[in-house]
């Protein structure tokens, strides 16, 4: 009986995390679109918009979602105005609208 309860609890936590990630992704994409290709935003700004009272504890998930969106070609993560390899991020980054290169 405890196993079933445990599995239900885990399932509820997974669903909540997926919902949070979806909300974060939507906000990142919205802000990037509003800023356009020439401007960027700090990941902490996204965290402050969504979680104003305890935004710092969400920075990890904000970056996780931003990295997933970058891998999917939806946004770019930059440092000093240049796209970075998301597998080698060190230091502060910015999020901006992905621009297609021809």
Tell me whether residue 35 is exposed, middle or buried, using C-beta atoms within 10 angstroms of its C-beta: 0 to 12, 13 to 18, 19 or more: middle
Task: Give the domain ranges of the chain.
Answer: 7-97
Provide Rg for the chain, Cα atoms: 16
Q: Which of 52, 48, 61, 57 is nearest to 16 (CA)?
A: 61
> CATH for 7-97, among 3.20.20.70, 1.10.10.10, 3.50.50.60, 2.120.10.30?
1.10.10.10
Token pair recorded at residue 100: 């297609």
From residue 10, how far is each of 3, 6, 14, 47 by CA, in Å?
A: 10, 6, 6, 25
How much is the pTM?
Answer: 0.86
Tens digits of pLDDT across the chain (102 residues):
334 455 666 677 778 889 999 999 999 999 999 999 899 999 999 999 999 999 999 999 999 999 999 999 999 999 998 999 999 999 999 999 987 654
């Amino acid at each position: 009986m405890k196993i079933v309860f445990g599995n239900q609890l885990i399932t509820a936590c997974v669903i909540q995390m997926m919902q949070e990630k979806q909300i974060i992704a939507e906000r990142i994409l919205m802000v990037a679109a509003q800023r356009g290709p020439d401007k960027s935003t700090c990941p902490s700004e996204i965290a402050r918009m969504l979680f104003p009272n305890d935004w710092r504890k969400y920075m990890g998930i904000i970056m996780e979602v931003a990295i997933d969106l970058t891998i999917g070609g939806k946004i770019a993560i930059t440092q000093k105005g240049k796209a970075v390899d998301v597998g080698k991020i060190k230091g502060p980054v910015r999020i901006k609208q992905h621009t297609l290169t021809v």
